[in-house]
């Protein structure tokens, strides 16, 4: 067996690595937050606090897996696996390096957007089935936020698609051999980053689970492994958005030959993972109406203007 797109070894390695990285991000986030906020962070359990993740996992596995008697049991149990499944399916079209990936799809960009749309069902079902007012409020916020910011995310990607002439993510990476799309698509990049933060419910856009207002939002009634799926799903979303940023705007695995392509991909993605953590440490949470107004009144016109200018540029190039 060898590494090639679609091989069992490649699929198993990607699945294992993505889940382990998402789990380790719990420790990475706490350490980085401690560094930026001038405190220690986890440093007691194991060297540098590395075993804190193991302790957290043991706690999640051994907690009582309780289903409230007032909840709709089927929907309550169905909601957490949905977010895990759709995010892991999204990784199937991410090209990590030459010959490393699950599938080369000609509709890779559309597939990622479709999976992001399905992810909204997880939080909606979780909040509605809990039969809890706080969870219901959280699920309504999450649904509106995710559906709204998916619009701007999709439009921001169309500029890259127009320049590359394909929806295939691997071909988009290869089309950046002469220059990354961050330069001609800097506006699309900023819109995509903002929409990605909103899609993954990360601070400052964690309004669907704002503890000070609605306890924990859509996962208020969840415990044990079901809560763990929501928790790890959030970190998987951070890794996915960071990987997409690298693929779409920063040349994917492309880089000087003194490092292997997969190393370049990991280094670039790590920068954006750290950026996600820095947002949590530095920026306060906006009000919900401010979040929605910002999207529809500012990001939507800006993304449409970016698409219009990109389309005009592509047509001008073809007419030369």
- Residue 307: band (very low, low, confident or very high) from pLDDT cuts 50, 70, 90: very high
Q: What is the pLDDT of residues 99-121, one digit of tens each?
A: 888 888 888 899 999 888 888 88
Rg (CA), the chain: 20
Domain positions in the chain are 66-319
Q: What is the pLDDT of residues 163-215, one digit of tens each?
A: 998 999 999 999 998 889 999 999 999 999 999 888 887 777 877 776 666 77
pLDDT higher than threshold 60 for residue 127: yes
Q: Do the Cβ atoms of 216 and 137 come closer than 8 Å?
A: no
Residue in this structure with the two tokens 């109406």, named with its chain if needed = 289
Q: How many CB atoms lie within 10 A of CB 69?
A: 7
């Amino acid at each position: 067996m060898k590494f090639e797109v679609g091989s069992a070894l490649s699929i198993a390695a990607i699945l294992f690595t993505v889940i382990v990285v998402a789990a380790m991000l719990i420790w990475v986030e706490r350490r980085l937050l401690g560094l930026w906020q001038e405190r220690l962070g986890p440093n007691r359990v194991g060297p540098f606090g590395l075993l804190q993740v193991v302790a957290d996992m043991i706690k999640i596995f051994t907690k009582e897996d309780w289903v409230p008697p007032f909840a709709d049991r089927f929907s309550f149990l169905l909601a957490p696996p949905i977010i895990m499944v759709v995010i892991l399916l999204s990784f199937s079209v991410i090209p990590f390096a030459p010959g490393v990936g699950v599938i080369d799809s000609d509709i890779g960009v559309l597939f990622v957007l479709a999976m992001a749309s399905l992810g909204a069902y997880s939080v909606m079902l979780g909040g509605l089935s809990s039969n809890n007012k706080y969870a219901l409020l959280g699920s309504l916020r999450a649904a509106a936020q995710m559906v709204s910011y998916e619009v701007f995310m999709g439009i921001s990607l169309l500029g890259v698609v127009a320049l590359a002439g394909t929806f295939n993510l691997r071909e988009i990476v290869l089309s950046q051999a002469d220059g990354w799309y961050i330069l001609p698509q800097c506006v699309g990049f900023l819109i995509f980053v903002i929409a990605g933060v909103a899609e993954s419910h990360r601070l400052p856009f964690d309004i669907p689970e704002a503890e000070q207002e609605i306890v924990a939002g859509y996962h208020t009634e969840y415990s044990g492994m079901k809560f763990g799926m929501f928790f790890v799903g959030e970190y998987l979303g951070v890794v996915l958005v960071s990987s997409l940023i690298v693929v779409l705007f920063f040349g994917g695995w492309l880089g000087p030959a003194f490092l292997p392509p997969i190393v370049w991909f990991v280094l670039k993605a790590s920068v954006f993972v750290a950026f996600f953590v820095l947002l949590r440490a530095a920026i306060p949470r906006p009000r919900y109406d401010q979040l929605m107004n910002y999207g529809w009144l500012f990001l939507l016109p800006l993304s449409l203007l970016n698409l219009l200018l990109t389309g005009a540029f592509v047509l001008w190039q073809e007419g030369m």
